[in-house]
Structure 1
Amino acid sequence: MRGLSRGPPAARPPRPPGRNGPAYTPQRMADVSAPEPPKPPPTLPDAEIAALREAGRAWEKAPGRSSAGPEVAPGLDVAETRGRPGEHYVRIVRSQTQGFEPVAPGWLEATPRAIAPDTDFGRIRRRLRTALLGSPLSIHRVLHERLDKVRALPVLSSDALSSVAYATEQIVLILAVAGTAAISADLLPIMGVIALLIIIVCLSYRQTIKAYPQGGGSYIVAKDNLGPVAGLIAGSALMTDYILTVAVSVASGYDQIQSVFPAAVHYRVAACITVVVLIAVANLRGLRQAGNIFAAPTYLFIGAIILTVTVNLFRLITGSIHPTGTSIHIPMTESFTDLGGMVLVLLFLKAFSSGCSALTGIEAISDGILAFKVPEWRNARTTLTIMGTLCVVMFCGITIGTEVL
């Protein structure tokens, strides 16, 4: 062993060939690899690409973000062991107890427990909210909240249909200032102009519904075609119209009740506010429930008006209709006689503007297109046509009955 010397290291033998062929070095692998396919040209603008890259760099620098770790498994059950060594108590926390329920492999659906409050005050508030407004709706149930034409008419057309009940009254109140002769001479011409205006507005909104199938009211149409200032003016006018319509309609309805029960005059304000609150709660409970609630009163109102108009028309044709026995003559005041025709023209225009209250609420259908069942825009146009026809028939019938009687 002493005579042996340590020689130079032996050269490394070459790598034996593989089972299916010769061994490949990294250089050779690079030589025989297939060429990389060209990248497709970007379809986004350069500004959007730069914004996406900047957002990616900011996301990478976000604190607390870790790239390592296992992937999230939605259907995974968490098991925890507790107690002293040697014991075998195991607590399993499943996804259902955390507010989620598995509906398919890797797919969890949120349940009401997911948004349940943790405090006692929150639970009490949630119970009150559920009692007043109903339970929250899931996405699948929201799709079933769409309205058919039978329910959409009382929900979206009650504003316009109820306005014809007091439109004629407002015209008569203005013309009464000029005397009975002015009522007889101007009532039917004003009725004809307003009826023509209702038809024109309904035809215009039919075109709007077809051009804006996702919903297009005065605000959207004015903003797209005339600019944001015109859109804001139209939206402000619309909000004012809706607020005044609710107030006037409720007050007018209570006037009819007060005519039957005169003692109810002392509860006028409280009763009107209560009715407004009840209407708001009914709408907040959902479209279908609001349709079910408003359907009976709306169709009852339409039936009563149509029945009254039909009976008056039949009696007028048969000649059995007669004016009331007590006729009140309203003489023309001396001031109007002296001023002449200009004041009568202004009075006519004032009566026309007051009678245009029959047009309130026609736009509601074009705003609520997405509340209809598919095809939304076609059902909305059909409902709008039915509403316009009913408005014209009821308004003209009430006005003609007022003129004849």
Structure 2
Amino acid sequence: MAEQGAEHGTESNERFRSRVRDWLESNLTGEFAGLRGLGGPGREHEAFDERLAWERHMAEAGWTCLGWPAEHGGAGLPLDKQVIFHEEYARAEAPATVSHLGQELLGPTLIAFGSREQQERFLPPIRAVEELWCQGYSEPNAGSDLAAVSTSAVREGDEWVITGQKVWTSLAHVADWCFVLARTEPRSPGSRKHAGLSYLLVPMDQPGVEVRPINQLTGTSEFNEVFFDGARTAADMVVGEPGDGWRVAMGTLAFERGVATLGQQIGFRRELEDLTRLARENGALDDPTIRSELARAWVELDVMRAHALRTLGSTERGAAEVAKLLWANWHRDLGELAMRVRGAASLVTGGGAEDFDQWQRLFLFTRADTIYGGSNEIQRNVIAERVLGLPRERRGEVRQ
């Protein structure tokens, strides 16, 4: 893997792009040929086992964990080549990956904050796609206000005992492990809410863990509730120091919106191209309002790409929040525009969730885009308070 990373790192971008394109073309064949375009948000149920096999095939060829340093088993690729890979992956309509949370979130977190023992234990199976992860952050009363988590972990001998509930946990039903933000020290009067939190690595296959799927508007269930009722993990499964979980958790969130977003935008462009083609075929493009909205969507997509490229790898405050606002609102609006392009036909299905067409699924699932990964309200508050220096919003006040 390190040798391949060194080889890629010295190639020109044009040569590297050609290499990626050729590999995808020659490998998305045979048993993997039918996976093109499958999976992704709202469609994680599609050919899951087959996509897992595909990603393990990628790992064997050295195409996972491209941004990880070579000393940790990654390819150590610079940002420009990572962008190229994700763009070509999207252009090839390769299937959505199943190990994003491990590769893009937990792996970089362990590299930045984990102990050598944790890195040696967990990084190799993440890179090989042998262990899958989920994220235990949000709770019923602590979704947007992450510092208010109440899930607790108490030290008993050589173990932590975890009790509480997490919600909106993507792919928990297939995960082997969960990185959990839990309160290991009770709050004292006047203390800051995020004090006393710890970042724990918890095995999912144990009697104290129950996963309940959440049925969505699309009829699928990729989100879950997770109940910890005396679940246990070893004492050394704390990333960083006990009580320092907030800093580690914020580090994880900083990794969440990386180069993969540029590949995501390739998928958005394909959706917009398909919708424009549909509007031309069914006559909706003759409507000046529809035509104007489609043109606006094209311009906004180019603005999104320009912003992503400008802020890629940047530590500029607010950049990630702005990016999330841009793509989430754009994608939601595209779903609404798709309904207008389709007209009355958009209201009719065969009667079940499995009968939704691509535009109905797009409309329904993108309602969640402005909520998961940080709601619009929270992104705007972060920008207002931490970037613009405006007064903090009064929590709990009644708005008129």
Is TM (by shorter chain) over 0.5? no
Which structure is larger by alpha-carbon Rg, 1 or 2?
Answer: 1
TM-score range for the pair, normalised by the shorter chain length: under 0.3
Q: Which structure features the higher share of strand residues? A: 2
TM-score (norm 1): 0.22
Q: Which has the higher contact order (CA 8 A, sep 6+)?
A: 1
